[in-house]
Structure 1
Amino acid sequence: MPRIRIELPEQFSFSTDITLYVGHMNYGGHLDNALLLSVVSEARARFFGSLGYRELDVEGLGIVIADAALQYRSEAFHGEVMQVRMTAADFGSKGCDLLWCMNEKSSQREVARGKTGIVFFDYRLRRVAPVPEAFRRRATAGTCPV
């Protein structure tokens, strides 16, 4: 089976720091694979917050996760600070990908990279909805270096 390969953009529009706690670790003493996604979920919530949104209120719509892919690059340990960078890309009519990269902050050692596919969802009508143009503009307005 071929391995997943995720190509990252040259620039990201958002960056946040997240400290790893003992609850993020597995029996091997490093970041648990399932809890990696919880760290990415926290970064995603912060990303939306930086744009003035909440995940359940993006111009009156919510988001749902359609798919996720990730690549592990190295171990991460209790007490390390992860710098998680994120950007929106590959917009379709109903959603987009959120590309992300997680590095240990002091050494810049890459820990993981991935992408999360999101679709916009009208929770009142219980159906997918078009990408709000205001979100597309805000999400693609600025970038910061990799």
Structure 2
Amino acid sequence: MARIKLEPPHWVDFATELTIRVTDINYGGHLGHQELIGLLHEARVQYFAHYDQTETGRDGEPGIIMNDLAINYRSEAFLGETLQISMAGAEPWRAGFDLYYTVNAISPDTGTAPRRVAVAKTGLTFFDYNARKLASLPAAWAARLTRPLQDQAV
């Protein structure tokens, strides 16, 4: 089976840091798959809050639903490490966009450079929760996602 290969955009729209907790560790002694998905969800909630939005929508704006999720694992992550999660919205379409995540880990006791843990992508579709149907990409998101690349670089 061919592997999925994700290449995130070369810009960052938002970044956050989350610490790996004991409840995030699986029986293999490292960050578990479903726990990483939960941490990506937390980062996505922060991403939307950064733009004064919520996943469920408000103030006449639709919420979002996820159509897909892909993750490329690059290395393990361990208890107490800090995950730096950088996100970039890209590839807008009529009703949504893709959100890319670059996950790096920093070990508190080694002082080494961050190492890549994973690259992920979620396909997000705007959704009207009252009408229970897809909604068009809001104008503010369309403008944010289609601005020139030089404005997006960090």
Q: Which range, TM-score by smaller chain?
A: over 0.9
In the TM superposition, what is the alpha-carbon distance from 1:94 to its structure 2 partner?
Answer: 0.7
Deviation by residue 1:28-87 (Cα, 9 ceiling, x = unmatched):
110001111101000000000111111111652110000010100000001100000001
Query: 2:17 corresponds to which residue?
Result: 17
TM-score of the superposed pair, with normalisation by structure 2:
0.88
CA displacement at 1:140 relative to structure 2: 5.7
Q: State how far apart, in whole Å, the 1-side matches of 2:128 and 2:64 are.
A: 8
Which has the larger displacement, 17-26 or 100-109? 100-109
Aligned to 1:113: 119
- 2:115 maps to a residue whose letter is R
Aligned to 1:6: 6
What is the percentage of aligned positions where both structures have the same residue? Answer: 39
Displacement of 1:144: 5.0
Which secondary structure state, in structure 2, belongs to the residue aligned with residue 28 of structure 1? coil
Query: In the alignment, which residue of structure 2 is the partner of 1:131?
Result: 137
1:144 and 1:15 mapped to 2: Cα distance?
13
1:45 aligns with 2:45: yes
CA distance in 2, matches of 1:62, 1:5: 28
Q: Matched residue pairs, number?
A: 145
Amino acid at match of 2:10: E
1:143 to 2:152 alignment: yes
Distance 1:124 1:112 in 2: 35
The answer for unaligned runs of 5 or more in structure 1 is none
TM-score normalised to structure 1 length: 0.93
One-letter identity of the residue aligned with 2:42 = E
Tell me the SS of whatever aligns to 2:130. coil
Provide the alpha-carbon RMSD of the alignment: 1.6
User: Residues 136 and 105 from structure 1, CA distance in 2 versus in 1: closer, same or farther, beyond 3 angstroms?
Assistant: farther
Amino acid at match of 1:108: P
Alignment-derived partner of residue 110 in structure 2: none
Alpha-carbon distance in 1 for matches of 2:15, 2:152: 10
Gapped regions of structure 2 (runs ≥ 5): 108-112
State how far apart, in whole Å, the 1-side matches of 2:131 and 2:32 are: 36
In the alignment, what sits opposite 1:64? 65
2 CA distance for matches of 1:144 and 1:75? 28
**Displacement of 1:136 after TM fit?**
2.6
- Contact in 2 for aligned 1:14/1:144 (Cα 8 Å): no
